[in-house]
Structure 1
Amino acid sequence: MRRPPRAAVTPARLWAAVATGVACAAALHLGHGRAFVSLSWDPHAVNCLPELHLALLVHRPPATIERGDYLFWKATATGALSYVSEEFVLKRVAGVPGDRLSIRAGRVFINGRLVTEGLDDAVLYRRKPADFEREDVIPPGRYFMIGTARLSNDSRYWGYLPRDVVAGKGYRIY
């Protein structure tokens, strides 16, 4: 999976992206003190979504969910990732209901297509990588979520995300 070269992250570009995001957030703010949108970035030293520096989060459960969408939910909603100190978890949809999932030899395939590699976080669960291997069809109302980094704690380890816990969609700003 080769990606095109990305422009360097410079302070000027980052501030321009933040300003754009703040302007969008201000324009889409609902009354009654409740934000309709917010901004998000990954504060961790090893980002789980290295392609995403800044995202606009739309706080409304989406009508449709497709492969490649960024979804977010409350960290405590599923039990998995409840240790996360941020209010929301943001991951990318790799598989939707009806897709065929295969995890073999540390490689994750959806419908025969490689979507990510590595089971390095197996040690966090005190298990061997082979314990996470499986062949499955993603059930209705469930999504297979990934970070695009090897060290992302995602559906490879804790299973499918239920649709009813999805708080909204994220959109890459920068």
Structure 2
Amino acid sequence: MADDVLEAEDRPQRRVPWWLALVVGRNPKRTFIRLIIWVFGSVLIFKFALAPIRIRGLSMMPTFRNDTIHFINKLAYKRGTPQRGDVVAVRLAGDKVLLLKRVVGLPGERVAQVKGRIFIDGELLEEPWVSRTSFTPRGLSSRGEEQLGPNQYFVTGDNREISDFGPVTLDKIMGRLWF
């Protein structure tokens, strides 16, 4: 019995190369299982909870710059509803085209856009997110007053010189900007 113990102690330990230990750790099976869990978890998160969105264009300037990547929280409106000021992703053609816009009008409100300024039920909307210093009179759009339906939200970009959108239904809003 004592000889068996000596034989086990005398056997040289198989040494793992440093580069392999760095890549897969000391226990490759455990590392593989961890990798599978990470991949599966990432797929679930990006399928059901988060969506990346790349900003293309200047419609949300100066709040968001062109060619930056942000994430949309797809679960944000499963229990709640969009609020005024929320930055949301709006679907245009299925999930392929997403636009980042700001909610300015809520269901049941009357919304008008006059020279880039938003009026809700006849009163000027206070918009701290919009920079008014760059406005030029000829570049601003106007829309007549629209009555939003029970499931409609009025969305627009922060850069009113080049952004004009309008009413969208809740099913077209994919989620709220996370970061």
TM-score class normalised by the smaller sequence: 0.5 to 0.7
Aligned mate of 1:59, from 65, 68, 74: 74
Once residues 147 and 141 of structure 1 are traced to their aligned partners in structure 2, the CA distance between those partners, rounded to angstroms, is: 20
Distance 1:119 1:102, change over 3 A: farther
Map of 1:50 onto structure 2: 62
Within the alignment, does 1:72 sit opposite 2:82 as a pair?
A: no
Contact 1:61 1:169 in 2 (8 A): yes
Code of the residue aligned with 1:168 in structure 2: it is G
Moved segments of 4+, more than 6 Å: 116-119
Distance 1:106 1:58, change over 3 A: closer
RCO higher in 1 or 2 (8 Å CA, sep ≥ 6)? 1
Aligned mate of 1:113, from 114, 124, 133: 124
Code of the residue aligned with 1:57 in structure 2: it is I
Distance 1:119 1:71, change over 3 A: farther
Give the root-mean-square deviation of aligned CA atoms. Answer: 3.2
1:72, distance to aligned residue in structure 2 (A):
1.2
Contact 2:151 2:170 in 1 (8 A): yes
Once residues 70 and 114 of structure 2 are traced to their aligned partners in structure 1, the CA distance between those partners, rounded to angstroms, is: 32
Code of the residue aligned with 2:64 in structure 1: it is L
For normalisation by structure 2, the TM-score amounts to 0.55
Distance 1:106 1:43, change over 3 A: closer
Percent identity, please. Answer: 21
Code of the residue aligned with 2:172 in structure 1: it is V
Map of 1:40 onto structure 2: 53
Larger-gyration structure (1/2): 2
Q: Which has the higher helix share?
A: 2
1:138, distance to aligned residue in structure 2 (A):
1.9
Structure 2, unaligned stretches of length 5 or more? 1-38
> Which secondary structure state, in structure 1, belongs to the residue aligned with residue 153 of structure 2?
strand
Distance 1:106 1:169, change over 3 A: closer
Structure 1, unaligned stretches of length 5 or more? 1-25, 78-85, 122-128
Contact 1:98 1:138 in 2 (8 A): yes
Map of 2:177 onto structure 1: 170
> Which secondary structure state, in structure 1, belongs to the residue aligned with residue 171 of structure 2?
helix
Q: Deviations over 1:22-70 (max 9, x none)?
A: xxxx9x84539736213334132x3434212453211236132110112
Once residues 33 and 56 of structure 1 are traced to their aligned partners in structure 2, the CA distance between those partners, rounded to angstroms, is: 10
Q: Aligned pair count?
A: 124
1:142, distance to aligned residue in structure 2 (A):
0.3
Contact 1:72 1:90 in 2 (8 A): yes
For normalisation by structure 1, the TM-score amounts to 0.56
> Which secondary structure state, in structure 2, belongs to the residue aligned with residue 34 of structure 1?
helix
Map of 2:106 onto structure 1: 96
